[in-house]
């Protein structure tokens, strides 16, 4: 049996549940399948660890798929012999109902639309074991979108039996019940305490899970999780802070996996529509007044990839290190050019739930900006209020973290730099950026696409509505003999590959 220690408790069992938290993915990802999923590849520099391979898509509930010559139709052939946990067969009718659901419920709608999946009429049952998906035009995001968390395959008969007129997608019932056929079955769930998963013996949608049982315990106190890690009392310990990881990594008896996520980035957001941050030179000045290395070393304990001090041409991936460095003379000169040589007063808002990183960052930023005449007030908000203020774009300066599930650079710009979106932390409104994100969405000419991506990177560098800080490692303490640890795009546990030596 594998023993896992988590910092938070799942708040729903529905993979597309309204208001789902990250902890809930540890259950929903493992008890449900999708039509297709990402392959895996070894992590460079981290022996024994794997990560998802965005460029390799393999069958799961569907054993194979075919894409039409024009890219508008994808035909999925369901895996014969596949069963749900109650023993009933997985059919195209179940897949149809599940996809109808994901484009209808609030949580799934926006994500599926990024892959041109917007309405139930796009999903057709050809026969019991064949499903056809039709999109208006070829879209590079359709297949990757079907690999993400939300489009789980449900046992439609069970769900329909628990649906109501007011709740046709059984959202209330699925919040506390499972109707899946994934590699694991949920045996026990006690909110705020933990859960038990058991390998599904009849799972045929991939190699059989190597661990027959997984016991997850919620341990909200970081010191308790660290103590358990030091004593070797768990196979996986998550959610330890930078200082804990810094202390533990020097111990030879503890195995630490630090896995990067190229699609995740922590930023200092500057509200580009709110004075004085509506002045580009002010934003550039602050970008030169951030003590990057000091924050990276003393707050994050260097547990990540820096997103500062980058080369002028760092290729076409994004996020990438920006060419800003700590240079107070340059910062003062830019403030003078903005007619703000005497500085100004503003507020830096942080999420109280993320205070372990955000608060020391804020203090160091406050000290540095004070040297160029900017008086920074630090304000902490509860997570709910912070999210509401971000959506309303009411924060002058803030700290935020964004993670793009789909890796293409145009997707990142569309989510975090185009307007209007909820995740546009810098409240950036730029007609050229909006046009470029729209044009690259369906661009098939690689040279044209690359040229437009390069221009978007240039705009992000010059306009700097968000100051990129770092892409943090996902640090996990694992038992010495654990094999098959795999990092997924959502950052939570992929259990089926895990095996104790």
Whole-model pTM: value is 0.92
- Helix 446-463 and helix 280-287: axis angle, to 10°? 80
- Are 35 and 91 in contact, with CB atoms under 8 Å apart? no
Identify the architecture of domain 2-217+480-500 in CATH.
3-Layer(aba) Sandwich (3.40)
Residue 70: the pLDDT is 96
**pLDDT tens, position by position, 47-56:** 889 999 999 9
Show me where the domains of the chain are located: 2-217+480-500, 261-473
Of residues 478, 468, 471, the one with CA closest to residue 498: 478
Mean pLDDT in residue range 268-278: 98
13 burial class (0-12, 13-18, 19+ CB within 10 angstroms)?
buried
Residue 383: the pLDDT is 86
Residue 421: the pLDDT is 82
**pLDDT tens, position by position, 341-393:** 999 999 999 999 888 899 999 999 999 999 999 999 999 999 889 989 998 99
Q: What is the DSSP letter of 493?
A: B
Model confidence band, residue 163 (pLDDT cutoffs 50, 70, 90): very high
Residue 420: the pLDDT is 82
Model confidence band, residue 419 (pLDDT cutoffs 50, 70, 90): confident
- Are 162 and 173 in contact, with CB atoms under 8 Å apart? yes
- Are 43 and 259 in contact, with CB atoms under 8 Å apart? yes
CA dist 217 and 493 (Å) reads 14
Residue 166: the pLDDT is 97
Q: What is the DSSP letter of 83?
A: B
Residue 396: the pLDDT is 98
- Residue 202, number of CB atoms within 10 A of its CB: 12
CA dist 342 and 224 (Å) reads 48
**Quick one: tokens of 340?**
């703000």
**Mean pLDDT for all residues in the chain:** 96
Model confidence band, residue 126 (pLDDT cutoffs 50, 70, 90): very high
Of residues 209, 206, 350, the one with CA closest to residue 197: 209
Model confidence band, residue 260 (pLDDT cutoffs 50, 70, 90): confident
For 157-193, where are the E strands, in sequence order? 184-190
462 burial class (0-12, 13-18, 19+ CB within 10 angstroms)?
exposed
**For the domain 261-473, what is the CATH code?**
3.10.105.10
Model confidence band, residue 313 (pLDDT cutoffs 50, 70, 90): confident
Model confidence band, residue 71 (pLDDT cutoffs 50, 70, 90): very high
Strand 194-199 vs strand 374-381: parallel, antiparallel, or unpaired? unpaired
Residue 422: the pLDDT is 84
- Residue 355, number of CB atoms within 10 A of its CB: 13
- Are 389 and 233 in contact, with CB atoms under 8 Å apart? no
> SS3 of 330, please?
helix
CA dist 381 and 392 (Å) reads 14
**pLDDT tens, position by position, 457-479:** 999 999 999 999 999 999 999 99
- Are 4 and 238 in contact, with CB atoms under 8 Å apart? yes
- Are 196 and 187 in contact, with CB atoms under 8 Å apart? yes
CA dist 26 and 200 (Å) reads 16
Rounded CA Rg of the chain: 24
């Amino acid at each position: 049996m594998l023993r896992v220690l988590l910092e938070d408790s799942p708040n729903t069992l529905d993979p597309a549940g309204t208001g789902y938290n990250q902890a809930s993915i540890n259950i929903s990802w493992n008890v449900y399948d999708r039509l297709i999923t990402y392959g895996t590849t070894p992590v460079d520099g981290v022996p024994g660890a794997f990560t998802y391979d965005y460029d390799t898509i393999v069958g799961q509930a569907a054993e194979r798929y075919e894409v039409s010559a024009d890219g508008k139709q994808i035909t999925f052939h369901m895996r014969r012999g596949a069963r749900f946990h109650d023993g009933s067969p997985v059919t195209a009718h179940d897949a149809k109902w599940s996809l109808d659901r994901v484009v209808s419920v609030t949580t799934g709608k926006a994500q599926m639309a990024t892959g041109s999946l917007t309405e139930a009429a796009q999903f057709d049952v050809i026969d019991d074991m064949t499903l056809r998906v039709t999109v208006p035009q070829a879209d590079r995001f359709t297949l990757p979108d079907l690999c993400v968390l939300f489009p789980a395959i449900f046992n439609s008969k069970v769900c329909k039996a628990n649906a109501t007129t007011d709740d046709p997608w059984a959202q209330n019932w699925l919040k506390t019940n499972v109707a899946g056929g994934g590699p694991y079955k949920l045996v026990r769930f006690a909110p705020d305490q933990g859960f038990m998963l058991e390998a599904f013996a009849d799972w045929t949608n991939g190699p059989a899970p190597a661990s027959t049982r997984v016991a997850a315990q919620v341990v909200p106190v970081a010191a308790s999780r660290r103590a358990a890690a030091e004593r070797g009392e768990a196979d996986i310990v998550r959610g330890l802070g930078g200082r804990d990881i810094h202390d533990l990594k020097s111990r030879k008896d503890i195995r630490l996996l630090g896995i990067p996520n190229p699609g995740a980035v922590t930023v200092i957001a500057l509200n580009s529509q709110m004075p004085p941050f509506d002045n580009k030179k002010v934003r550039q000045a602050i970008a030169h007044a951030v003590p990057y290395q000091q924050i990276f070393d003393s707050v994050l304990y260097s547990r990540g990839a820096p997103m500062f001090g980058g080369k002028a041409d760092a290729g076409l991936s994004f996020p990438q290190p920006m060419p800003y460095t700590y240079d107070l003379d340059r910062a003062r000169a830019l403030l003078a050019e903005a007619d703000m040589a005497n500085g100004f007063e503003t507020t830096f808002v942080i999420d109280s739930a993320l205070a372990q990183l955000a608060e020391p960052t804020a203090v160091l930023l406050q000290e540095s900006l004070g040297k160029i005449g900017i008086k920074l007030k630090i304000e902490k908000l509860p997570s709910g209020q912070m999210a509401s203020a971000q959506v309303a774009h009411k924060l002058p300066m803030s700290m935020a973290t964004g993670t793009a599930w789909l890796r293409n650079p145009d997707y990142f710009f569309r989510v975090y730099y185009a307007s209007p979106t909820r995740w546009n932390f810098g409240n950036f409104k730029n007609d050229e950026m909006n046009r470029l994100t729209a044009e690259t969405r369906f661009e098939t000419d690689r040279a044209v696409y690359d040229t437009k991506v390069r221009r978007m990177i240039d705009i992000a560098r010059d306009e700097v509505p968000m100051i990129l800080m770092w892409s943090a490692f996902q640090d996990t303490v694992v038992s010495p003999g654990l094999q098959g640890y795999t990092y997924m795009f959502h950052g939570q546990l992929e259990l089926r590959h895990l095996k104790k030596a």
